[in-house]
Chain A
Amino acid sequence: MDALTATLRIAASGLGAQSERLRVVSENLANAQSTGNFPGADPYQRKTVTFVSELDRVSGGSLVDVGAIDRDPSAFRLEFEPGNIAADENGYVKLPNVNVLIEMADMTEANRSYEANLQVIRQARDLISMTIDLMRTP
């Protein structure tokens, strides 16, 4: 496989990985207030995503792949709210361990990396069309 096609392939894998990350961020944000539905129940647990580098045997480049989507083991927030359906016998409700600021920072970073990958695709396309332009008669 020629190197520029491999470039497109690698950058596309980067786009895929970053959009998967953005999906996880949106899940966390959407569920930032999701409590359980019976007394003392655990709420939504924040998800984390890790990437692994993977050698592409066809092109020899290093693709990126979503390795695993894990759960954040940090403690839940507790809030005193006896009227809630998920409140335990002391009146405390467990809220998800999602920090909106961290999710926002994560989102910005995913965005930035996505744009960098897009830029690579744009450039590879330009290099290919420059080469094709050689064949046009002047």
Chain B
Amino acid sequence: MEPVNLFDLATRQSQWLAVRQTAIAGNIANVNTPGYLARDVEPFEKVLDRTGMMLGSTQPGHMGFGATEASFRTQAQEYNGALLPSKNTVVVENELMKAGEVRRAFEMNTAIVKAFHGMLLSVSKG
């Protein structure tokens, strides 16, 4: 059966959000580490653009080239504020804001999946 596209998309977005949350946790944990550069995940749109060109796997034995957690790249962010003497670029307020964004997006994501799931149920139950 053809996988329903929306579930696939929602799964990918929730994986991306989880990876982003990990990046935020790393930044907050290292808020007082000298020389630490704040990191973030590449934007979700970029991930979607990239996955369009990936090879599909038709058998379980094939190497996966789809969007797995490992394929979301995290990179050190550009920083355009004044650099502290400790060369640390984490701003706690920014990180907490990003965490709020992740939370909102995740709530939206689960709500949509729930609604879609309810539709499927109502169809199959009749």
Where the two chains meet, the residues of A that have a C-beta atom closer than 8 Å to any C-beta of B are: 2-4, 6-8, 10-11, 13-14, 17-18, 21, 50-53, 59-64, 109, 112-113, 116-117, 119-120, 123-124, 126-127, 130-131, 133-134, 138
Residues on the A chain within 8 Å of B39, using CB:
62
Overall SS of chain B's interface:
helix
Check B29–A11 contact: CB distance below 8 A. yes
B67 in the interface, Cβ–Cβ < 8 Å? Answer: no
Chain B interface size band reads 35 or more
Overall SS of chain A's interface:
helix
| Distance from A99 Cβ to chain B, minimum over Cβ atoms (Å) | 18
Check B21–A3 contact: CB distance below 8 A. yes
- CB contact between B34 and one of A21, A50, A112 (< 8 Å): that residue: A50
A124–B26 alpha-carbon span in the complex (Å): 13
Report the nearest A residue to B69, measured CB to CB.
Answer: A3
- CB contact between A138 and one of B26, B36, B96, B118 (< 8 Å): that residue: B118
